[in-house]
A and B are shown apart, each in its own frame.
Chain A
Amino acid sequence: MDLSGLLEKLKGLFTPSFLISSVTPLFCFILFNGAILGQYNHTVRKWVSDYYLSSSASKAVSGAILSIVLLVIAYVFSTLNLFLLEILQGKHLPKWLEYSLRTGENARLDALTEQWQNARQLRRQLGPNADTWRRELQVARDQGSKLSECNYGVDNNVYKSVEGLVQLRNAGAAIQADVLRDCITRLANVLETNSANLANNPDSIRLDRHHLLLFRLIGYAVGKAEDEYLRRFNDKEFNFSRYTVAPTRIGNAAESVRGYALSRYGMNLDFFWPRLQKAVQARSDFYKTLQDAKTQLDFTVSLFWLTVASIALWIVLLPFLSRTWLPLISVGLIGPALAFMWYRMAAQNYRSFGDLLRSCIDLFRLELLTDLKVPFPQDSQVEVQLWDRVNRWISYGEGNIFVAYKTD
């Protein structure tokens, strides 16, 4: 085989995904640890200085050998990627740690559920009442407009209450139903006994402004409650599965995708994903986006584990090498912070990846049915029943299941 053929073969072997998710983190790892080692080891320092002083030919040979060694290590490392990701998903952990971690995730789920339930309750309290409250204010104003006086100063408690709601709006906070209701009742009382239609009367102008303001604040409170409800629902739905709680954030992000397929379509995603991939691959743009998201995820997972390995290495070695405290303290403090940051980024990337997987399920599941030569269902309920039958037939291997074939 000639050189260009070999290079082409190598190019196919080392995809951009491999270079980004395995080679780059490993290169950073070697560079970082080599730099620290160089501070304490004369041989390393000498080797680096000799390398820079060497001739171009010698540099090229050394560089080529190093690159090949790096690629081989990276390739071995890339085979561990799945295992390392599974550990971050909470698999292969000691039971005690798994239990402790799951306790934490349960607490997070409880908190999210509580927030979601609060948001749902607020939405239910505000939504149906908004128009009634607006009418109540208008009726009170109409009644008060028959009067010819207005007493509504800035020291009025109702004025302060409305301004308090404005502050909540400015802070982007949700307005609780009882607080809003109380404010509406009190302002309605003021509107009944004072005219908000008197020209050149500062108190009347102020009352008129507050009436309009509260009118808008009702709309804000309803909109915010709706938005909060959706946000909390998404947080809960896309961070956790409906069926199980994994010990880690990343594990729960993964479970949420599995739970999505099962709750929406009754699909066993673990089994059908490799088959679904065929349909996704046919859409090259979408498949590339999916691959990019996976590359980003693998990149941060690799960085996390290599950072953990560096911390462990130097926490053991530095007490025997360093004469000062700072290197050990730096590794001890900055290292975990960095690892934590990579972990959070990996979790974030997994959520993005999970979003794409959910889109894949929504968009390509019917193409999978086409590939399986199974006719399309008539509606969503029939579809769930169909996937259940297909699951039992293919995934579980139950022999007495009947699934019709598409014959045309």
Chain B
Amino acid sequence: MGRKSIGKGATRSRLTHWNWKIPCFLIYLALLVSGLLMIETRVGPIWRNGKFADRIPLFVAAYNWLFDSERMQYVATSDMKINHQLLRSDFTLPAISETLYDYFPRIDDIRGKYLKKDITAGKPIFLNDLSPYPLIDPQPDTYVVNIRLSKQAAPKGYLEPKSTVVIVPKDSTDKLEGTVLSSTWEDAPSPSPTKATENKKPSPAPASPVSQTGPSPNN
């Protein structure tokens, strides 16, 4: 009996304790909401053609990445074939809120990479569809050999795709004839513009030396 009365007293006391916490919490909440309203009155209220993405870009970007990742990718500006080496002019930002552009992949993660599959204009370019090296398509009755050449005295574009070459191993006199499938010319990295300086409609960039020696789509 005594225990029960103590229990009731504690419960009543606890409720009294909460009685003042709830108003304090509501006042604090009202303060936060009034702060949000103040932001709205400053930047133009969201209920008049405002976008949620402009107000909570991180959340919208996170949502898009999780549930609508196509929206958070650069899109192709033209039809491109497999093994095409991407230039800056080959892809552009999609038509979504500019505040989300900060959450896009870095341009350098895409520029200079090779497509692993065909892509049509306007479609998103996923990082998974890119490779740092061109793909070699195996053919029946062929022998594919990767050979790394030091630059030596060879000029750029010396060995173009489809060029016919003859290989003679040092310890053999057998001559092996073959066709160049792809070639890349690795230069020292040049300074690239930051994302903030990118235009929304990118102008065609000058072709890099790599693209001059890159494999043709028909290869």
Contacts and interface: CB of A to CB of B under 8 A. Distances in A.
Contacts of B35: 315, 318-319, 328, 332
A111 interface: yes
A320 B16 contact: no
B104 interface: no
B13 A325 contact: no
Interface stretch (B55-63, B71-79, B153-161, B203-211): B55-63
A318 B34 CA distance: 11
Interface in B18-44: 19-21, 28, 31-32, 34-36, 38-39, 42-43
B120 interface: no
Interface stretch (B4-12, B83-91, B105-113, B163-171): B4-12
Given A323-B54, A324-B57, A325-B36, A107 B3 contact: no
Most buried by B among A113, A329, A336: A329
A319 B39 contact: yes
Given A100-B20, A324-B54, A328-B32, A114 B39 contact: no
A118 interface: yes
Nearest to A99: B20
Given A113-B6, A315-B31, A315-B32, A104 B39 contact: no
A227 interface: no
A326 B58 contact: yes
Contact of B13 (A110, A324, A332): A110
A114 B7 contact: yes
A106 B15 CA distance: 12
B99 A324 contact: yes
A107 B16 contact: yes
B36 A326 contact: no
Contact of A103 (B16, B32, B57): B16
A393 B3 CA distance: 43
Interface string A197-239: 0000000000000000000000000000000000000000000
B47 to A, nearest CB: 14
B24 to A, nearest CB: 9
B17 interface: yes
Nearest to B2: A117
A324 B28 CA distance: 19
**Secondary structure at chain A's binding surface: helix, strand, loop or mixed?**
helix
A340 to B, nearest CB: 12
A58 interface: no
B100 to A, nearest CB: 12
Nearest to A323: B43
Nearest to A100: B20
B48 interface: no
Contacts of A110: 6, 9-10, 13
A322 interface: yes
B4 to A, nearest CB: 10
Interface string A301-334: 0000000000000010011101111101100100
Contacts of A104: 13-14, 17, 21
A319 B36 CA distance: 6
A332 B36 CA distance: 11
Interface string A102-138: 0110110011011001100100000000000000000
Nearest to A111: B10
B17 A118 contact: no
A113 B5 CA distance: 12
Contacts of B43: 323
B18 to A, nearest CB: 8
Contact of B10 (A114, A318, A326): A114
Contacts of B42: 319-320, 323
A118 B10 CA distance: 14
Contacts of A107: 10, 13-14, 16-17
Given A104-B14, A324-B55, 4 more contacts: A104-B21, A323-B54, A325-B36, A336-B28
Interface of B: 3, 6-7, 9-10, 13-14, 16-17, 19-21, 28, 31-32, 34-36, 38-39, 42-43, 54-59, 99
17 contacts: A104-B14, A107-B13, A110-B6, A110-B9, A114-B3, A117-B6, A320-B38, A323-B42, A323-B43, A323-B54, A324-B56, A325-B56, A328-B39, A329-B36, A332-B28, A332-B32, A332-B35
